[in-house]
Amino acid sequence: MYTFTSHYIDGRWTAAGKERIAVFDPATEERIGEVPAGTSADADAAVAAATRAFPAWSALPHAERAALLERLTDLLINRRERLAAALVAEVGSPASFTAAVQVGLPLVTFGSQPGLLGAVAWRSEVGHSVVVREAAGVVVAITPWNYPLHQIAAKVAPALAVGCTVVLKPSEVAPVNAFLLAEAIEEAGFPPGVFNLVCGTGTQVGERLVAHPGVDVVSFTGSTAAGRRIGALAAATVKQVHLELGGKSPSVLLHDADLPTAVADGLAKAFVNSGQTCTALSRMIVPRSRLAEAEEIAAAAVVNHRLVDPAAETEGLRPVVLADRLGHIAFTFALGPLVSAAQRERVTRYVREGLREGARLVAGGPERPEEFERGHYVRPTVFSDTAPDMTIVREEIFGPVLCLQAYEGEDEAVALANGTPYGLCAAVWSADTDRATAVAGRLRAGQVEINGARFNPFAPFGGYKQSGHGRELGLWGLETFLQTKSLQLP
């Protein structure tokens, strides 16, 4: 059992009230732990601690902050097996995927911050002015359950690196990893109040933090609906808000694309983490003349995406190599359960809605997989004959559901790709890389993969339209937490 009874505030574990939030294993549906249910008073205490700590922390030499982050990275590397076990249990990601991505990617982010600090233009001259970059202040980080430690790292690591202090509110669905991180931060020796952890619901803790007048920056990852609410609450105090929200990302297969490779790659990226991925390529836009071929390939490839017990799965990796000191990132063809009963019901409801609206089922369906009597499993599903106005085409499902869309000409393909309220990610496939790149330039999305290119954790990450605003990761992730000041000299 993972049992935590205290929040981490002002450099110490602070006893919370008697209310607890239960944590469940999505594969077994068994209770595996509990964390404290925070209150508005806990949120206030965390913000007060961060406010007191900010002047000294922001004034600390960059090298000293970098040294603490390096020590933290080493401690997390030493804890990677414990972190992975907790994430398998609370999220349900297969063990191999968890080790490589759910833990490996956050380690890359934490480990990269000291080097990135040297790339910031902290001081520059413009005529008779000196332009200074400095820490923005107290940061509230509100993170989701699908890649919980990765999203924490994308916010907490750069904010701490540049001199901000942080209050973290992790998802109450998958909070254990955040408490393990807090233990490592305490052991690393960060000063009191620099990092604070308060768990709780969005209404009880999250909204209080967002509206708090002592908070300078809110960084949120989650649903578009929640992002709208956060933006409205934060507007009252005119604080900075960075939003990384939903997606309905298209993969555009041009007429000359290598269809077997492109369809297999698109299917894998639609189903990654059981489709619980904001960048999932959940729409595949295919030439009408090759639609039947794409359907056949997709139907055959779905069987490679097997449902597994996440704690037992250790094989099935397709490596995607990153040039870093912490090892390779990899994606897996194995699929675990969805994170909760509510999430399973949401996804199966969308599948039924697709059938009701007239989409044709190529593979999968809403029925429970026969091989799993318990756990929040759903069948990986592919639809064809979908129309642009269908619910399953326009709304983020957040499960392993792929929609095939047919087009005649390149202009129609681009229009279909841009035809949802989202703009987080996209992909283009063509035998001609220059042609694919030209089409990518017409897509309204924050990241576009060309011919299956791998994810880059040092490139800017963020969306257009209702996928949010602001950027995370790499140098851009650091600059998100900086203010710019100009000093006019005589």
CA distances from 473 to 56, 112, 388 (A): 25, 10, 32
The per-residue pLDDT for 323 is: 33
Catalytic residue selected from 172, 244, 295, 472: 244
Domain shared by 12 and 31, yes or no: yes
Domain shared by 160 and 264, yes or no: no
Domain shared by 266 and 412, yes or no: yes
The per-residue pLDDT for 17 is: 86
As a whole number, mean pLDDT of residues 274-298 equals 97
* Residue 84 reports pLDDT greater than 50: yes
Residue 463, in any domain of the structure: no
The per-residue pLDDT for 320 is: 38
How many domains would you assign to the chain?
A: 2
Residue 14, in any domain of the structure: yes
Domain shared by 287 and 352, yes or no: yes
The per-residue pLDDT for 328 is: 36
Average pLDDT, the chain: 95
Domain shared by 271 and 230, yes or no: no
Concerning whether 278 is annotated as a catalytic residue, the answer is yes
C-alpha span between 136 and 244 (Å, rounded): 19
Residue 61, in any domain of the structure: yes
Exposed e or buried b for every residue in 68-88, given b needs 16+ CB within 10 A? bbbbbbebbbebbeebbbbbb
Domain shared by 287 and 400, yes or no: yes
The per-residue pLDDT for 103 is: 97
Instruction: Provide the CATH number for the domain around residue 299.
Output: 3.40.309.10
The per-residue pLDDT for 36 is: 97
Residue 233, in any domain of the structure: yes
Domain shared by 212 and 256, yes or no: no
Domain shared by 220 and 193, yes or no: yes
Concerning whether 244 is annotated as a catalytic residue, the answer is yes
Q: Tokens 């430690």 map to which residue?
A: 149
213 pLDDT band, cuts 50/70/90, is: very high
Instruction: Provide the CATH number for the domain around residue 15.
Output: 3.40.605.10
C-alpha span between 462 and 468 (Å, rounded): 7
User: Residue 368's domain spans which residues?
Assistant: 250-457
Catalytic residue selected from 164, 172, 199, 278: 278
For residue 307, give the DSSP letter: B
Percent of the chain with pLDDT over 70: 96
Domain shared by 275 and 205, yes or no: no
201 with 172: CB under 8 angstroms? yes
Residue 122, in any domain of the structure: yes
Domain shared by 480 and 365, yes or no: no
Domain shared by 132 and 181, yes or no: yes
The per-residue pLDDT for 314 is: 58
7 pLDDT band, cuts 50/70/90, is: very high
pLDDT, tens only, 17-41: 889 999 999 999 999 999 999 999 9
Residue 121, in any domain of the structure: yes
Count of CA atoms in the C-beta half-sphere (13 A) of 43: 27
Domain shared by 415 and 437, yes or no: yes
Q: How many CB atoms lie within 10 A of CB 136?
A: 21
Q: Three-state DSSP class for 60?
A: coil
Q: Quick check: pTM over 0.85?
A: yes
pLDDT, tens only, 316-362: 444 333 333 333 343 447 999 999 999 999 999 999 999 999 999 99
Residue 34, in any domain of the structure: yes
C-alpha span between 36 and 48 (Å, rounded): 19
Percent of the chain with pLDDT over 90: 93
